[in-house]
Structure 1
Amino acid sequence: MTRLTPVLTENWDRPDSFTIDGYGEYAAAKKALGMDPDAVIQMVKDSGLRGRGGAGFPTGMKWGFIPQGDGKDHYLVVNADESEPGTCKDIPLMMANPHALVEGVIITAYAIRASHAFIYVRGEVLHVIRRVQAAVREAYEKGYLGADILGSGYNLELVVHSGAGAYICGEETALLDSLEGYRGQPRLKPPFPAVAGLYASPTVVNNVESIASVPSIVANGADWFAGMGTEKSKGFGIFSLSGHVTRPGQYEAPLGITLRELLDMAGGIRAGHELKFWTPGGSSTPIFTSEHLDVPLDFESVGAKGSMLGTRALQIFDETTCVVRAVMRWSEFYAHESCGKCTPCREGTYWFKLMLRRLEKGQGSEEDLAKIVDIADNILGRAFCALGDGATSPVYSSVKYFRDEYLKHFEIGGCPFDPAASTVWGAK
């Protein structure tokens, strides 16, 4: 499998791709509004679309959880708070193709019988917020949003909301709290958002790429989408290659493609170097090494090898990178972004940061490796949300695959990749 499948990225090189004239007339939304809402949900179920935000939960099934005939308002919330280190697919998607997202919102909200929808965008990306706001404004002007959309009798109001820049607000319940005007902190579940979400009403929270994929499914059919990918991980996805690769960027391909194939298309590792380690789904997924080059990048295959597909943020590191330093930097990020609500994450990420700083300087001992793994054991499965679990992933996997590199730091009393060090990695 070496063929790319440009769908969401097909027109990114067009100078007017972000305008409604460059996008088209919302043909999929027109088709969906002529269908029964339950038929739209069934179509998405049949397509096999799974959440593109990291968890990989079946999208149509999530929509189906919304109770009908309950007399409550229903809400759709799009999670556009992309902030995972290494993840960079939703922001360029909203910049180059925002109308795919807006059209997806219309179809999704219609399917779950919601009359209000929100796109929650990370506050730091002001240029993206303006681009999405412009797309929403164009959709209103064309009659695709507002009252009696296209004469269907369906009403939908769409609000673009700017967050305040907290990583924790990428967690769906913390996002809902933030949207309601509270401090963004995760909620205890159950109840789940499908039952008591925004304003204690049934709510669907989906990732940008998940919602933006819906128009193509409605337009082309469930079988078309299901014909790509693997048996259990169907369809296409945007793979974000960054780091020590010749041509970093977005590669839209069927799920199940391998890093080896993606690297071939991206020109390989930068000249004169070789792959050392990489992340299959961002910094909160366990790292892989060169021995995993041929692992199919789908939810099941990556999971079977001990990691997670996550957001398909493929951070590539060559042999010049210190694993300990990389894990330390990630741990500093998680310690900074922990909301502090639960003890395992608040205290555990703090100690990760302190201990990894010592280890990177060569001031630790082999006993500290056992201690840092013990700390990870006390976070995993005990934190209030997935932030704590994610923070343990690079720690566990780096000690597993690069224990000798940690020991080398202790041996020379510093980082072997530091040019000022008296001994370099591999020296006798």
Structure 2
Amino acid sequence: MSIPPPPDPQGPYSQGGFAPGQHPQGPYPPQGPYQGPYPPQGPYPPHQPHLGAWGQPFGTHPRQPPVNGLAIAAFVLGVFCLVPAVGLVLGLVALARIRKRGERGKGFAVAGSVLSSVGLVLWVVFLSTGAAGDFWDGLRGAARGEGTAHALSTGQCFTTPSGSLQGVTYDVDEVPCAEGHDGEVFASFALPGGAFPGDAEITRAADERCYALQDTYAMDRWALPADVDVYHLTPTSQSWRTGDREITCLFGNTDERGTLTGSLRNDATRLDPDQHAYLTAELQLNLAMDGMPVAETVEEDLAGYRSWAERMSTALGRETGMLRGHSWPAAAQRPVAVLVADLEAARREWDLAAEAADAGTYYEHLDSGFGLVEAESTVTARKALGLDTTPPVYEEDGGDAGEVPGREV
């Protein structure tokens, strides 16, 4: 009994297992042109891509390795020359990691290392030549506002870009006072905080304080040229918002296109003790003179002028007391004594003016008082002390004899 072989698992058409004289019946006829689809079925439809060796479809791009972050940081530090030593270290570390991990960014790492190396060399030269000190000095100067109107201090002379002390200015150039200049600073003070008070109020405060402070710097009013007047630099509404509260007092030429040459400073730093003592005594009278009433004539304000005459008498009393109390050098003792006698006589005239019942009487004693104050004895005493002997210029306020003279300076 024979046992037939087991059936082929692939079916009767596999491996040529057909009965003799039979042909397979299917889509592949042994003869004739191809008819029908090829193949009718299969594991790879025409629209489906085959898989490649990396487990990815042949039809897509392979994923790229990431860019090294240290390489980018090194490049940025190198370009901007920020802490070049750090940029160099980051660049070298980035190159090592790129080789080890297969990351991208080698160009960034190399460029950052080279630029940081150059920056490091420049920093070494910068520090070794002293340029660093100049840099920080300039930086501190900018922070303090040097080279601007806010940086001026007492005793400095300066020029402005426009050559004028009118309008608004931000930039100034300090120059030696021996050279031609537009202004010389003699004092400064700060206004209180709060809301911006307005240009008019700031100007009023500047006029009042600056004229009062000029004698602390230029004690000898006789030495001030006739073409010199008091000016000031004040905050604007814009600078006020940034904290600017300072008013700077300065001397300038009354001619807008004119300049000054030489310092006008006359204080304890420039005067000998005798000159300083004389001018300190004379200052008492000058300050009282500045308090002259604003009314142009005595008739308009007799009471105000009488009050002013009292202040003049008091100032003359203080001046003569200070002149008597100082020990003068031999050459100046007699001239100063004669001056004291004239000032005492002038004081009596001012006392009488303060008691005048009418304008006519007031004018009479006023003229006598001024005559004694401006007597030749003042010039003689000044000459003995080595001070300026040219009296300040006075100008009449009008054509009437009854009008009161006022100082230009």
Question: Larger relative CO (CA 8 A, sep 6+): 1 or 2?
Answer: 1
Whichever of the two has the greater Rg, that structure is 2
Per the TM superposition, whether the score is higher than 0.5 is no
- Give the TM-score normalised by the residue count of structure 1: 0.26
